[in-house]
Amino acid sequence: MQRVEPSAFAGTLGRLRSAKQVSLVIVDTPGRFGPDVALVLREASLCLVPVKPSILDVEAARPTVEQLRLLKRQFAFVLNQCNPTTQARTLDAATALVSTGALAPAMVATHSDFLDSMTMAQGVTELAPKGKAAVEVRLLWPWIKAQLGGAKA
């Protein structure tokens, strides 16, 4: 993992690509769209927009989606922090998001493994490989990979 200032992102990425040091770069940006985020998104092949299943979160994603369209970036929503026992809100959010853009077919529920893995600087597939969170991530990955044109896992 490497920290890079947004202003240096394009150059750093270019050097890594030309040296064939990377085949996949995943960048986590702040939840608000701004000039720094725009610098990073200009380089993106695919932008995943995590959205909680609430009308407020669906609406909050609209400015980012507008900017992604202006930048002509491929994007998709990922329903995140879904309640695994009551799915009505998740279905409502999915319906609203599909009308705005692509929606990843796998949804991510709220699991303590996500929080625990962050505190341990691991992914959920490392922390609890057989846990529900890891299963959801594994269901999401093939779709992401297909959107990227078959990037290496």
- Is 50 strand, coil or helix? strand
Considering the four listed CATH numbers 3.40.50.300, 1.10.357.10, 3.90.45.10, 3.40.50.620, the one that applies to the domain covering 44-147 is 3.40.50.300
pTM of the model: 0.83
pLDDT at 153: 46
* Nearest in space to 143 (alpha carbons), one of 100, 93, 108: 108
* Mean of per-residue pLDDT scores for the chain: 89
Which residue type does 12 have? T
Name the percent of the chain lying above pLDDT 70. 97
Asked if 84 and 110 touch (Cβ cutoff 8 Å), the reply is yes
Per-domain residue ranges of the chain: 1-43, 44-147
Backbone φ, ψ for residue 51 (5° rounding): -135, 130
Mean pLDDT computed over 68-78? 93
